[in-house]
């Protein structure tokens, strides 16, 4: 009789490596590892050998970089979705994309369960599980770190010892490594000195994608981008896919110290956590998109879209990608992007992105209206009536307050 199968969200790190023998030992499952490539780069090297050594029967490495960029990153870019005014949602956007692929592999393999290695304190457990429940409510979810009666390991040292007892001798360092999550959009860092908010990050040891601004070149670099309906189409005159543009922007931003943030954020589970995020290409792309958008959107739409962007950021951060609300918010954003087409130019210099001009066939900027000289479309005298009406509530209230003040003085 064949064993039941479980699909493990596999990164190749210590946590998910230890989970493989634990799943076999605890549940008797056949373990099928699935590593979803969202642009982790060299982190994928040697994964197949490590998974098989740890007892997995099979390893899928699924490249979804283009899907991640087109279907998950770009909706957030178009929305201007930024959590708590700083975090560009690098991990938050990736988790539903990964979950979707995990469900596909589970269906293909006939697996009864999906396992993830997220801890009981973090946001990722919520993002994985809400996505999996929305896509496959019949598939069981296993979260070892919450199964304290079965998962007895409480530290990286415990996990290393567990692996060694099962014949898995891997060179993981327990004392000198940050907890990191990387994809094409960003890399996050937690742990070590970052656990104390009073301590400055050790950027010389920490940074992977970028250099500190003070070590960036002393000469600025100009960049030109084009957009069609809110989607980037070319970089410095060369047409490319979104994933290729982000890759190039990562190199440019990293060179000039762009996109480093140190944030104490409010996790979904109720605690505050401190982390450093590097998002060089994403920071540039978001700024370039906003630069063009302010030229093309009318005031009322722009105001509401800001609110929608903030709401979408919260929804994505909380793992609610596959929900009617998320669909509706993205649909609103798509309507606003119909005329966000044109070209933007900016310069990068020591951590800064400075505008250097923008054009659009749908620009709502009218030089005749904006000029200090009187044009045909604007009569300065029209402002008299407008101000009278616009300020009428203030005047009425002031008159009432004067009237009450006089009565009180009698």
Which residues are identified as catalytic? Answer: 15, 95, 124, 179
Can you read off the two tokens belonging to residue 71?
């279907």
| Contact (CB, 8 A) for 114 and 143 | no
The DSSP result for 274-324, as a single string, is EEEEE-HHHHHHHHHHHHHHHHHS-HHHHHHHHHHHHHHHHHHHTT--SSH
Partners of 172 in the β-ladder: none
Q: Residue 119: how many CB atoms within 10 A of its CB?
A: 15
Q: Is 109 left (phi over 0), alpha (psi -120 to 50) or beta?
A: alpha
Helical (H) or strand (E) element with 189: strand 187-190
Q: Which residues contact 375 (CB under 8 A, 6 or more apart)?
A: 368, 369
Question: Nearest to residue 236, comparing CAs of 252, 255, 260?
Answer: 252
Q: Which residues contact 87 (CB under 8 A, 6 or more apart)?
A: 261, 263, 265, 277, 317
- How many Å apart are CA 151 and CA 155, to the nearest integer? 11
């Amino acid at each position: 009789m064949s064993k039941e199968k479980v699909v493990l969200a596999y990164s190749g790190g210590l946590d998910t490596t230890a989970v493989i023998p634990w799943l076999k030992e605890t549940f008797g499952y056949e373990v099928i590892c699935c590593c979803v490539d969202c642009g982790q780069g060299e982190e994928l090297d040697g994964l197949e050998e490590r998974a098989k050594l740890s007892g997995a029967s099979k390893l899928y490495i699924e490249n979804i970089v283009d899907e991640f960029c087109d279907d998950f990153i770009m909706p957030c870019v178009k929305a201007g979705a930024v959590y708590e005014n700083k975090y560009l949602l690098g991990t938050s956007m990736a988790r539903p994309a990964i979950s979707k692929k995990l469900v596909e592999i589970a269906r293909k393999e006939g697996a009864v369960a999906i396992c993830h290695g997220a801890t009981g304190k973090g946001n990722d457990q919520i993002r994985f599980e809400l996505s999996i429940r929305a896509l496959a409510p019949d598939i069981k979810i296993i979260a070892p770190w919450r199964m304290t009666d079965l998962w007895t390991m409480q530290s990286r040292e415990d996990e290393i010892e567990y692996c060694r007892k099962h014949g898995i001798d891997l060179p993981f360092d327990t004392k000198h490594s940050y907890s990191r999550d990387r994809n094409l959009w960003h890399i996050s860092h937690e742990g070590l000195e970052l656990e104390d908010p009073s301590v400055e990050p050790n950027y010389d040891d920490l940074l992977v994608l970028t250099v500190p601004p003070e070590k960036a070149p002393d000469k600025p670099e100009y960049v030109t981008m084009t957009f069609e309906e809110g989607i980037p189409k070319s970089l410095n005159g060369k047409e490319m896919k979104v994933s290729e543009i982000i890759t190039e922007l990562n190199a440019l931003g990293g060179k000039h110290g762009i996109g480093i943030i140190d944030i104490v954020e409010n996790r979904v589970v109720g605690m505050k956590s401190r982390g450093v995020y590097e998002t060089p290409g994403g920071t540039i792309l978001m700024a370039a998109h906003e630069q063009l958008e302010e030229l093309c959107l009318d005031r009322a739409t722009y105001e509401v879209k800001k609110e929608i962007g903030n709401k979408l950021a919260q929804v994505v951060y909380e793992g609610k990608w596959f929900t009617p609300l998320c669909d509706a918010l993205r649909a609103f954003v798509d309507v606003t992007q119909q005329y966000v087409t044109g070209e933007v130019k900016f310069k990068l210099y020591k951590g800064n992105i400075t505008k250097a001009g923008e054009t659009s066939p749908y620009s709502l900027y009218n030089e005749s209206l904006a000029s200090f000289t009187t044009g045909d479309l604007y009569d300065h005298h029209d402002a008299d009536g407008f101000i009278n009406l616009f300020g009428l509530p203030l005047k009425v209230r002031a008159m009432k307050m004067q009237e009450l003040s006089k009565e009180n003085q009698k």
